[in-house]
Amino acid sequence: MLKRILAINPGSTSTKIAIFEDEKLINKTNIKHSTEEINTFKTVFDQFNFRKNALLEELDKIGVDIHSLDAVVGRGGMLKPIEGGTYNVNQTMIDYVKAAPRGEHASNLGCVIAKTIADEVGIPSFIVDPVAVDEMNDIARFTGMPEIRRQSLFHALNQKAVALKAAKDLGKDYHDLNLIVAHLGGGVSVGAHEKGRVIDVNNALDGDGPMSPERSGAVPLGPLYKMAFSGEYTLEEIKKKNYGKGGLVAYLGTNDGFEIEKRINSGDQEAKFILEVMCYQIAKEIGSLAVVLKGNVDAIVITGGLAYDKMIINFIDERTSFISRMLVYPGEDEMESLALGALRVLNGDETPKEY
């Protein structure tokens, strides 16, 4: 019998919902919230009833009775560091996101809304591979400064989802493989997946790893701290150079891959060179993780929005093909990834973890 699953993904000014029957998408809706409405709430947690009611109204509009559901799955928020997998939503998790010690983020509401709806009809509620997934080996956490440790903050939901797809396509179990997975979107995260664990990955938020369409990636520290203390920039301006106005935006004035490709096809050599710079850095990051995996790499897996760009794929493949074969899964379907995580539990293919 088909399992009906409601997936919920709260964003800053929207709440995405999707209905799946097993792996098949039945309905997907993006409920928009105006900035004015969101700004009336003091904290993200205060938005709970507002977002839940909007979601229930939308379900009523599209004719979905919550009593017809078999499970509800929400996007995981800024939780404490945890292993990857599908988790039962419990009160400890709710209390943590309410206190928000790791920061306010709309995704914190995913588990809360999921549990409230699920409890009303007596079905399970889950989260899947939140951004807080941390499976790094201790050796990967250290830097040259004892005061600073590397943290695991990356596109865990999509990386884990495509790693499972790659394992299926290779006819093997994810936990028997060594994969290097590169998520290429507004930010770039490249992870070493060793036998089902992401043992090393660049922090795509904090200036670690390759540049991306809107992030600087790692830069030499000497010039950076001189810039920071020059008096010419505020802290917020320095942050923006790292996150938001770095990378392709800083050099080319846009983070739009299609626009950049159009410029390249029109003969813009600067655009072509800067794009290749980004791909060079991504390839170099992949190479460094091949060392982490001691050269034992079953496949290089590329995903994210930029994976649609054949020029980018070719640039990276030219430099990494000696390491292993490349598998490409363009785009990022967070709703499907959430639903599939819940489905694996419902089908008995995975045991849910407790937070």
Tell me phi and psi for residue 19, to 5 degrees: -110, 125
104 versus 83: the higher-pLDDT residue is: 83
Place of tokens 């460094």: 288
Mind listing the pLDDT tens digit for each residue in 178-203?
999 999 998 999 999 999 999 999 99
pLDDT value at 205 more than 90:
no
Do 133 and 189 meet the contact criterion of CB atoms below 8 Å apart?
A: no
Check residue 80 and give its pLDDT: 92
Closest-CA residue to 12 (of 91, 86, 60, 75)? 75
Q: What percent of the chain has pLDDT over 70?
A: 100
> What is the pLDDT confidence band of residue 104, given thresholds at 50, 70 and 90?
confident
What is the C-alpha separation between 145 and 167, in angstroms, rounded?
Answer: 37
What is the C-alpha separation between 45 and 208, in angstroms, rounded?
Answer: 30
When pLDDT is averaged across residues 21-25 and rounded to a whole number, the result is 97
What is the C-alpha separation between 18 and 8, in angstroms, rounded?
Answer: 7
Lookup: tokens for 6: 């409601």
Summary mean pLDDT of the chain: 95
For the chain, strand residue ranges (E) read 4-11, 14-21, 24-32, 71-75, 86-88, 125-128, 178-184, 188-194, 197-201, 299-304, 326-330, 353-354
Place of tokens 């899947």: 128
Check residue 257 and give its pLDDT: 85
When pLDDT is averaged across residues 310-332 and rounded to a whole number, the result is 96
Mind listing the pLDDT tens digit for each residue in 210-231?
999 999 999 999 999 999 999 9
Do 112 and 75 meet the contact criterion of CB atoms below 8 Å apart?
A: no
- Specify the pTM: 0.89
Q: What is the CA radius of gyration of the chain?
A: 21
Closest-CA residue to 46 (of 55, 37, 57)? 37
Mind listing the pLDDT tens digit for each residue in 130-165?
988 999 999 999 999 999 999 898 899 999 999 999
Check residue 206 and give its pLDDT: 85
Domains, the chain, ordered by start: 4-135+334-354 (3.30.420.40), 171-330 (3.30.420.40)
What is the C-alpha separation between 348 and 185, in angstroms, rounded?
Answer: 32
Check residue 102 and give its pLDDT: 87
